């Protein structure tokens, strides 16, 4: 009798063990299918994982963002595979229907979303810093105070979520230094400029004088002619910079009184180049100054079409000015 009871207990334990094994195996198979199968994400989406986040936080963000179905299964699978310490922080893009396994591989690879910050040509230092401050995803402060104009090369800069603003700003400065040095080496031999700093200053004036790429070299050629002959540059943008104090755009049209404003940056009242740049010029304006057009023109004025009318003599220039004023009156 005792032997029969022992046999029944043995059979029960055997069946129970088989059931447990089958249950565990079934759960494992189900979990693997959830991990490897298509996820619930309906459209491509970006998710940010801050520095220092652990596996639990990553899993929660993924489930909360609708990227994966089960945070617990994701955690178990990542731990079983020994990858929990190798997941990268940052901003990642996940395609629609991405599986949890593919999510893990994306986080292991560490290819974060590339963001872009475009700095247009001709901005003031303060305007560049405003763009940097408003750029989403960047961290840290920017330098305060006035600082120098013309330090930052206008371009499109790539960055990742969490990058520091001061690092992006340094890249802008380094890019300007490299561009200026490279273009200075390729300059014409007969330029009336003493150093790259003077070239940068003149390039900033050219940048603010015209929005037409085809005119930059010609306007640079006019300014070179005036410098060679000892004539004042008489550039309106330098007056606007002087009257505004240089920190912000003037925001209005110049007046006759402005042209007589006594200031080192007013090239109507001061001969030669101003003490420094009046904006951040682009590479093309710098190149135009290094290799200006060969021209006899000494004057230019707006022609009403977005460009300028150039003149060799004062009489021609006065006629062009009169024509421009007629255009202005007609527009009013």
pLDDT tens figures, 105-126: 999 999 999 999 999 999 999 9
pLDDT of residue 31: 59
- Token readout for 197 is 């700093």
In the predicted model, what is the mean pLDDT of residues 290-318? Answer: 94
| Number of domains observed in the structure of the chain | 1
**pLDDT above 60: residue 18:** no
Q: pLDDT-based confidence at 202, cuts 50/70/90?
A: very high
pLDDT in tens, 124-144: 999 999 999 999 999 999 887
**Any domain includes 101:** no
Q: What is the pTM of this model?
A: 0.82
Answer whether residue 271 is part of any domain: yes
- Report yes or no on 132 lying in a domain: no
Phi, psi of 183 (to 5 degrees): -70, -30
Neighbours of 284 (CB within 10 A): 15
The arithmetic mean of pLDDT across residues 17-29, rounded, is 47
Question: Rounded to whole angstroms, what are the CA distances from 70 to 29, 32, 63, 129, 180?
Answer: 15, 12, 6, 43, 55
**Cα(185)–Cα(246) distance, integer angstroms:** 30
**HSE toward the beta carbon, residue 221, CA cutoff 13 A:** 15
Q: Is the pLDDT reported for residue 261 higher than 60?
A: yes
Return contacts of 124-129, CB within 8 angstroms, 24+ apart.
Answer: 124/149, 124/246, 124/247, 124/248, 124/249, 124/279, 124/280, 125/149, 125/151, 125/152, 125/280, 126/247, 126/248, 127/249, 128/152, 128/172, 128/280, 129/169
d(CA 202, CA 273): 7
Pseudo-torsion of CA 44, 50, 51, 55, nearest 10°? Answer: -70
Query: Could you give the percent of the chain with pLDDT greater than 70?
Result: 90
Q: Quick check: is 308 in a domain?
A: yes
Compute the distance between CA of residue 200 and CA of residue 180 in angstroms, rounded to an integer: 7
Length of the chain: 332
pLDDT at 3: 54
Asked if residue 248 is part of any domain, the answer here is yes
Residue 111 forms part of a structural domain:
no
Distance CA 198, CA 322 (A): 33
pLDDT reported for residue 88: 93
* Per-residue model confidence (pLDDT) at position 42: 94
Average of per-residue pLDDT across 7-30: 46
DSSP string, 5-52: HHHHHHHHHHHHHHHHHHHHHHHHHHHHHHHHS--S--S-EEEEE-TT
Q: What is the mean pLDDT of residues 213-224?
A: 97
Rounded to 5 degrees, φ, ψ at 92 are -125, 150
pLDDT value at 11 more than 90: no
Domain region containing 304: 199-331
Q: Which residue has the higher pLDDT, 17 or 286?
A: 286
**Is 23 within the bounds of a domain?**
no
């Amino acid at each position: 009798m005792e032997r029969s009871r022992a046999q029944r207990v043995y059979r029960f334990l055997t069946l129970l063990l088989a059931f447990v094994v089958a249950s565990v195996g079934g759960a494992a198979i189900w979990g693997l299918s959830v991990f490897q199968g298509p996820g619930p994400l309906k459209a491509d989406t970006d998710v940010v994982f801050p520095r220092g986040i652990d596996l639990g936080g990553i899993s929660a963000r993924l489930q909360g963002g609708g990227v994966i179905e089960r945070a617990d299964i994701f955690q178990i699978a990542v731990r079983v595979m020994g990858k929990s310490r190798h997941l990268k922080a940052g901003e990642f893009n996940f395609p629609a229907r991405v599986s949890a396994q593919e999510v893990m591989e994306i986080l292991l690879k560490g290819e974060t979303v590339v963001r872009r910050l475009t700095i247009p040509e001709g901005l003031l230092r303060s305007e560049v810093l405003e763009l940097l401050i408003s750029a989403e995803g960047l961290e840290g402060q920017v330098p305060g105070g006035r600082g120098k104009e013309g330090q930052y090369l206008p371009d499109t800069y790539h960055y990742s979520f969490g990058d520091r603003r001061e690092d992006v700003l340094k890249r802008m400065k380094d890019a300007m230094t490299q561009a200026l040095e490279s273009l200075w080496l390729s300059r014409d031999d007969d330029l009336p400029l003493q150093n790259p700093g003077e070239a940068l200053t003149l390039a900033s004036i050219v940048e603010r004088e015209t929005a037409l790429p085809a005119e930059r070299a010609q306007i640079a050629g006019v300014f070179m002619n005036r410098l060679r002959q000892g004539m004042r540059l008489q550039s309106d943008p330098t007056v606007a910079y002087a009257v505004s104090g240089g920190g912000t755009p003037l925001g209005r049209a110049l007046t006759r009184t402005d042209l007589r404003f006594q200031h080192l940056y007013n090239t109507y009242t001061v001969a030669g180049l101003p003490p420094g740049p009046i904006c951040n010029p682009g590479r093309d304006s710098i190149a135009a100054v290094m290799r200006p057009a060969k021209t006899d023109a000494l004057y230019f004025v707006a022609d009403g079409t977005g460009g300028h009318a150039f003149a060799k003599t004062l009489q021609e220039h006065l006629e062009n000015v009169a024509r421009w004023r007629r255009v202005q009156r007609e527009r009013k």
